[in-house]
Amino acid sequence: MRVCLLTDKPAHPLLAAASSALIEAGHRVTFLNPDTGTVSPSKLVIPDDLADVYLLKAHTPRALELARFLEAHGARVVNSAAATELCQDRSRIATVADGAGLPMPRTRTLDALSEVLHGAERPESGYPLMVKSRHSRRADLVARVDGPAELRDLAAKWPNEPVVLQEFVANSGWDHKLWVIAGEVFAGVRPAPVGAPPDGAQSAPLVRDLPPAWTETALHTGEVFGLDVYGVDLLDREGAPVVVDINAFPGIRGPKGAPAALAALALRRPRPGPPAYEA
């Protein structure tokens, strides 16, 4: 079987380990960086010589263009271009999650953060609140704001940034990260992206058996968004999980068994039917 990984980081531990497992099993593995060169991404592949499956780890516009081209010619792409693109838009994520009954903070979208400078838009949920770039990308905006003055200062620095304003979820200071590969759930704990861990703690608490509601929420997220490889960031609100971020094909580091699960996913047959969300 021929497996192609679309990525600019072939040495990533998850990808390298999964690739080694596939090669040892007698499969052919190649890597392709969609952002190499200046030619159209569609020129990077020959439609009559496609791989059996493409693992879409890159999320750039060129990577999505290539993925759509491959899908149009009958190739299997994991995750799909549509699902990957959806998970880069936090406004659309909130809309789809709300329609599916997933527990997420209340979210409001602004075309530009500068709108708060003119008094046209004010937070509905009060303070503190989270301000995030609408479009998820490297070095995007993710900030906690505790009052109007902080919001104005942030708007002055990022005036033209499309953003979402989200209700702040009081939490323990730790993000529970659930990574899912073809229905197999792996868990980790990381410091929340804003603020320090509680009491200056230097090490994350151990991840023990997850409550069923947490695992169910993670698996339901994949069904709703049409994802096979993804991450869900959860916060604990009075014992119940709240989804604060969803990532298509994140950089999964640490969990044992994740490379083997990814290798098995590459070899399995595609699941039937379209994603549950409306594109």
Closest CA to 179 of 193, 190, 194: 190
CA geometry: angle at 97 spanning 96 and 98, to 5°?
90
Indicate the SS3 state at residue 70. Answer: helix
d(CA 1, CA 27): 5
pLDDT at 277: 52
pLDDT at 120: 52
pLDDT at 173: 72
Strand order in the sheet with 107-110: 107-110, 163-167, 129-133, 142-145
* Secondary structure letter of residue 226 according to DSSP: T
How buried is residue 74: exposed, middle or buried, by Cβ count under 10 Å (0-12/13-18/19+)? exposed
**Which token pair is 94?**
């909130």
pLDDT at 274: 47
> H or E segment at 242?
strand 240-248
Profile the chain (279 residues) by mean pLDDT over runs of 10 residues: 94 95 96 88 87 95 95 95 97 96 94 82 74 92 92 95 93 82 89 57 57 93 96 87 94 88 89 51
Strand order in the sheet with 240-248: 184-191, 174-181, 229-237, 240-248
d(CA 266, CA 112): 40
pLDDT at 194: 64
pLDDT at 116: 86
pLDDT at 193: 66
Total Cβ atoms within 10 A of residue 46:
8
Residues in Cβ contact with 73 at an 8 Å cutoff, skipping those fewer than 6 apart = 47, 50
